[in-house]
């Protein structure tokens, strides 16, 4: 199998079942990528990730550049060896992080100057630097450096950022081509479609990205960043028909179970989100009947697992009563066990979605699933 190829195995409406071949393995899509911000998916080990069936992991270029620095990662064998995750990896470009996390920043066409959240030092990211850093990190997939604006950005702000993003894409591509010239099978670069909540801008973004192709994958960025959910789905619905069917579509930063299913229905193949581990650390666990707050007194002597249909270590081993105790007593094990379950839950969810696509029953299955999930409030 040649790296960076994507094959579509089935489609059901807009929903797709595919297979993406990357240097470190194949990924059955739709797929959910857990987020390993600092080269570790919070509270989970690579063995944990494998045990819950995670296929591909995301790490954050901005965070790793700031700490420990890409040079440390490179000297320790690259990101795969560094974090001992030998499966497919994707790094974001740092664009989203710089625009959403970094303190003071100055954007000009050349790049972005920002203040590190770790040591307060001034640093500069350019399309070339972001590409070089990602090359040093060595993930299977690198992302183009983009100018991300808030979900509610007005037309002129969003158009300005889009123009910059397209210009930066040329520079990323050029730098990446030069770096990859000697090792073409090591890493691919994916562009990001921006344009905030403006359908016309999104259409322009797709055109500008595709003119610069071919690409081995395409990302939709700048969604799930504060805009109302219907806006996200409208944009997805309007954008999808103009995307080539021959490459995977990656919806960045999404999401919750219901978002995954709605987005798969709109033709998305790849997702990442910190939610399963973040809400897990807060004591919230996904179940087929909706999220469950494990701290709730109702679970005090409950001998059932979180989710009787789940096959993860947490559900096979521990009662709700014990998990509640771990959270009330502020024990570290609880953070890991709920993170583990939540990642497993999303991995199983998209795997089930895939089977439904292959079986041609996706829409029915999705409606049934969502109806059960939404039937009651949080307990």
- Catalytic residue IDs: 92, 272
Q: Residues 287-306 vs its own copies: string with x where CB under 8 A?
A: -------------xx-x---
Beta carbon of residue 318, minimum distance to its own copies (angstroms, whole number): 6
Q: How far is CA 363 from the centre of its chain?
A: 23
Alpha carbon of 177 to those of 59, 74, 212: distances in Å?
22, 19, 13
Per CB under 8 A, the segment of 189-197, 246-254, 263-271, 312-320 that binds its own copies is 312-320
Per CB under 8 A, the segment of 40-48, 92-100, 107-115, 164-172 that binds its own copies is 40-48
User: How far is the C-alpha of 313 from the C-alpha of 350, rounded, in Å?
Assistant: 19
Q: Which residue among 25, 68, 152, 290 contacts its own copies (CB under 8 A)?
A: 68
Under rule CB under 8 A, residue 43 binds its own copies: yes
Number of residues that bind its own copies (CB under 8 A): 39
Beta carbon of residue 46, minimum distance to its own copies (angstroms, whole number): 8
State which H helix or E strand residue 81 sits in. Answer: helix 78-83
Q: Which residue among 46, 88, 221, 283 contacts its own copies (CB under 8 A)?
A: 46
State which H helix or E strand residue 26 sits in. Answer: strand 25-29
- Are 78 and 137 within 8 A, CB to CB? yes
User: How far is the C-alpha of 100 from the C-alpha of 127, rounded, in Å?
Assistant: 17
* DSSP at 227: S
Under rule CB under 8 A, residue 335 binds its own copies: yes
Nearer Cβ to its own copies, position 69 or 241?
Answer: 69
Under rule CB under 8 A, residue 1 binds its own copies: no
Nearer Cβ to its own copies, position 300 or 367?
Answer: 300
User: How far is the C-alpha of 97 from the C-alpha of 100, rounded, in Å?
Assistant: 5
SS3 content of the chain, % helix, strand, coil (to 5): 45, 20, 40
Q: Which residue among 329, 371, 376, 377 contacts its own copies (CB under 8 A)?
A: 329
Closest CA to 65 of 135, 166, 157, 168: 135
- Are 237 and 346 within 8 A, CB to CB? no
Under rule CB under 8 A, residue 67 binds its own copies: yes
Pairing of strands 89-91, 57-59: parallel
Q: Residues 47-66 vs its own copies: string with x where CB under 8 A?
A: x---------------x---
Pairing of strands 270-273, 249-251: parallel
Q: Which residue among 164, 173, 336, 348 contacts its own copies (CB under 8 A)?
A: 336
Q: Which residues bind its own copies (CB under 8 A)?
A: 38-40, 42-47, 63, 67-68, 72, 75-77, 82-84, 300-301, 303, 313, 317-319, 321-322, 324-326, 328-329, 331-333, 335-337
């Amino acid at each position: 199998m040649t790296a960076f190829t994507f094959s579509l195995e089935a489609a059901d409406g807009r929903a797709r079942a595919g297979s993406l071949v990357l240097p470190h393995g194949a990924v059955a899509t739709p797929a959910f990528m857990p987020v390993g911000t600092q080269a570790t998916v919070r509270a989970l080990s690579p063995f944990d990730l494998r045990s819950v069936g995670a296929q591909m992991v995301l790490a954050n270029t901005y965070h790793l550049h700031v700490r420990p620095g890409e040079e440390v990662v490179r000297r320790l064998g690259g990101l795969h060896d560094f974090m001992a995750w030998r499966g497919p990896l994707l790094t974001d470009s740092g664009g989203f992080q710089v625009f959403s996390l970094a303190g003071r920043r100055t954007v000009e066409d050349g790049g972005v100057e920002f203040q590190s959240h770790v040591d307060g030092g001034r640093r500069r990211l350019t399309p070339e630097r972001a590409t070089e850093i990602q090359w040093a990190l060595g993930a299977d997939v690198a992302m183009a450096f983009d100018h991300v604006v808030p979900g509610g950005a007005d037309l002129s702000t969003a158009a300005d950022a889009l123009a910059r993003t397209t210009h930066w894409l040329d520079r990323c591509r050029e730098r990446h081509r030069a770096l990859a010239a000697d090792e073409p099978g090591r890493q691919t670069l994916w562009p990001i479609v921006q344009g905030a909540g403006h359908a016309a801008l999104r259409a322009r973004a797709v055109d500008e990205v595709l003119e610069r192709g071919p690409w081995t994958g395409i990302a939709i960025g700048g969604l799930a960043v504060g805009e109302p959910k219907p806006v996200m789905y409208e944009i997805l619905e309007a954008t999808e028909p103009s995307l080539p069917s021959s490459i995977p579509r990656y919806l960045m930063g999404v999401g919750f179970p219901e978002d995954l299913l709605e987005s798969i229905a709109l033709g998305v193949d790849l997702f990442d989100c910190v939610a399963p581990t973040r809400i897990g650390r807060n004591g919230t666990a996904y179940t087929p009947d909706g999220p469950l707050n494990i701290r709730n007194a109702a679970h005090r002597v409950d001998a059932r697992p979180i989710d009787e249909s789940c096959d993860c270590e947490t559900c096979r081993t521990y009662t709700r009563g014990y998990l509640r105790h771990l959270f009330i007593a502020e024990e570290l094990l609880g953070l890991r066990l709920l993170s583990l379950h939540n990642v497993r839950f999303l991995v199983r969810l998209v795997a089930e979605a895939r089977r439904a696509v292959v079986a041609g029953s996706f829409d029915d299955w999705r409606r049934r699933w969502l109806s059960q999930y939404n039937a009651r409030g949080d307990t």
